Amino acid sequence: MKRLFYIFAFALVCNNSLADIYKYTDSNGVTTYTNIKPEGHSKAELVISGPKTAEPPPAVREKKSSAKTPSPANFPKVDNQTQNQRDQKRRELLMNELAQEKQALENAKQLYEEAQNTPEVYRGANGKTFRNVAKYEEKLHLIEAEIQAHERNIELLNKELNL
């Protein structure tokens, strides 16, 4: 019975809505736990006391101003023409990288096709030829991973270039 009480008390403590818990024993010797104060039982004892005051409301977060903070006076400034040149150079570099990734993807796909058509084999001690299926599948998985990496790079470069 004690164990049941402790389990019950623990469950209530874990719950956010704690209330007063009363314990009393009736005329038959049955112990009862309740959250309602028993009227007819003067010997009811308060076992767990719930919170008496409401919790304070959470602090109101201040809204950040949507206005930009001014740059410090000694902050280096770049004129629009210089910035446009830098942006154009960056775009050219990204376009070159995209072209290289597309070429690498095509090469990896071609390598995958060749690997599919070329099984891994080895010669046994008696001169018989055997297939090495595990090595074949491992080779294909590595090439598939390379293809996926190139596809992901192309996707990210297109996103960066807003294509």
Q: Would you say 42 and 29 are in contact if contact means Cβ atoms under 8 Å apart?
A: no
Characterize 86-99 residue by residue with b for buried, 16 or more Cβ atoms within 10 angstroms of its Cβ, and e for exposed.
Answer: eeeeeeeeeeeebe
* Mean pLDDT, range 105-125, rounded to an integer: 90
Higher pLDDT, 158 or 55: 158
The proportion of the chain whose per-residue pLDDT surpasses 90, expressed as a percent, equals 37
Task: Reply yes or no on whether the pLDDT at 124 is more than 50.
Answer: yes
pTM for the full predicted model: 0.50
pLDDT on residue 114 = 93
CA angle 12, 15, 17 (to 5 degrees): 95
Higher pLDDT, 97 or 47: 97
pLDDT on residue 155 = 95
Q: In terms of Cα–Cα distance, which of 28, 37, 33 is closest to 1?
A: 33
pLDDT on residue 25 = 79
Q: Would you say 119 and 134 are in contact if contact means Cβ atoms under 8 Å apart?
A: no
Q: Cα separation of 49 and 35, whole Å?
A: 10
Higher pLDDT, 28 or 45: 28
pLDDT tens for 50-67 read 555 556 656 666 666 667
Task: Reply yes or no on whether the pLDDT at 24 is more than 80.
Answer: no
Domains in the chain: boundaries: 2-48, 80-161
pLDDT on residue 93 = 94
